[in-house]
Each structure stands twice: as structure tokens, then as C-alpha cells.
């Protein structure tokens, strides 16, 4: 049985169906900053909902995605707080 939920879609309530993620490949994006710090970031998807009766211009179904950003900082010693 489909897992139907009501969500806010473009300012209106809409019905959708939760779609389980079967496989993921969450890679880190890395940014070297001018101060020598390295920021590593990735997006982790926590839930996907296919919106009923909503399609993009190419006829593909529209999905709402809940996610969280994970951040890691690798800073040079001179930028760290001294104890």
C-alpha cells in the first residue's frame, strides 16, 4: 500500500507518495578557502515524495526532497582557538 502524505507544494497543500531511496552515492564537495581552511560539504537526502498529478515541462513527475547539509571544517592550526 502506498505511503500517502499531504505536503505543502508551491504554497498549496498537495498529496504525495513517499518513495524510498534504494541507493545513494553521497560525495563530499571540497572547498579550499583563501585562509587555508578546507570546507567539506555534502547533502544527505532524508525523504523523497512524488507529488500526485504534477509534472515538469518534459512530462517527468515532480518530487519534493527533504535533505540535510553535513559540514566538516579542516582548519590550519593558526586559525584554531588556542586553549
81 found inside a domain:
no
In this predicted model, what pLDDT tens digit does every residue of 3-13 receive, in sequence order?
899 999 999 99
**18 located within any domain:** yes
**82 within a domain of the structure (yes/no):** no
Domain extent at residue 63 = 4-76
Q: Each residue of 20-67: pLDDT tens digit?
A: 999 999 999 999 999 999 999 999 999 999 999 999 999 999 999 999
- The kind and range of the H/E element at 25 are none
For the purposes of burial, counting CB atoms within 10 Å of the CB of 16, is it exposed (0-12), middle (13-18) or buried (19 or more)?
buried
| Overall domain count for the chain | 1
82 pLDDT band (50/70/90 cuts)?
confident
CB of 63 closer than 8 Å to CB of 47: no
Domain assignment of residue 22, yes or no: yes
Amino acid at each position: 500500500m502506498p505511503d500517502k502524505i499531504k505536503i505543502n507544494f508551491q504554497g498549496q497543500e498537495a498529496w504525495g507518495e513517499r518513495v524510498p531511496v534504494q541507493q545513494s552515492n553521497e560525495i563530499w564537495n571540497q572547498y579550499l578557502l583563501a585562509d587555508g581552511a578546507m570546507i567539506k560539504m555534502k547533502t544527505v537526502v532524508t525523504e523523497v515524495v512524488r507529488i500526485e498529478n504534477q509534472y515538469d515541462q518534459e512530462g517527468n513527475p515532480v518530487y519534493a526532497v527533504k535533505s540535510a547539509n553535513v559540514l566538516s571544517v579542516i582548519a590550519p592550526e593558526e586559525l584554531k582557538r588556542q586553549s
